[in-house]
Amino acid sequence: MKKVLIVGPLPYPVSGVSLANLIVKQLLENEKGFSVKEINTSYNKFEESLGKFSIKKSIHFVLINLKAFNVFGSDIVYITPGQTFFGVIKYTLFILIAFLTKKQLVIHIHGDYLHKEYQQLKGVKKLFFKFLLSKASKGIVLSESLIRNMSPFIPKENIYILKNFAEDFLMDNNIEKDYSSLKIVFLSNLMKEKGINDLLESLEMLEKNNIQYEARIAGNIDIVNKDSVNKKINSLVNAKYLGIVSGKEKLDLLHWSNVFVLPTYYSMEGQPISIIEAMASGNVIVTTKHAGIPDIVKNLQNGFFVEKRNPKSIYESFINIINNVDMESMANYNRSYFLENFTLESFKNKLIKILNE
Q: Along the 357 residues of the chain, how does pLDDT read in single tens digits? A: 999 999 999 987 778 899 999 999 999 999 999 999 999 998 765 554 554 556 777 788 788 888 999 999 999 999 999 999 999 999 999 999 999 999 999 999 999 999 999 999 999 999 999 999 999 999 999 999 999 999 999 999 999 999 999 988 888 767 789 999 999 999 999 999 999 999 999 999 999 999 999 999 999 987 888 888 999 999 999 999 999 998 899 999 999 999 999 999 999 999 999 999 999 999 999 999 999 999 999 999 999 999 999 999 999 999 999 999 999 999 999 999 999 999 999 999 999 999 998
What sign has the CA pseudo-torsion 294, 300, 303, 307?
Answer: positive
Q: Where in the chain is the domain with CATH 3.40.50.2000?
A: 2-165+343-356, 168-341
3-state secondary structure 189-235: CECHHHCHHHHHHHHHHHHHCCCCEEEEEECCECCCCHHHHHHHHHH
Instruction: Tell me the pTM.
Output: 0.91
In CATH, the number for domain 168-341 is: 3.40.50.2000
Task: Please tell me the distance from the alpha carbon of residue 67 to that of residue 78, in angstroms, as a whole number.
Answer: 15
2-165+343-356: CATH topology is Rossmann fold (3.40.50)
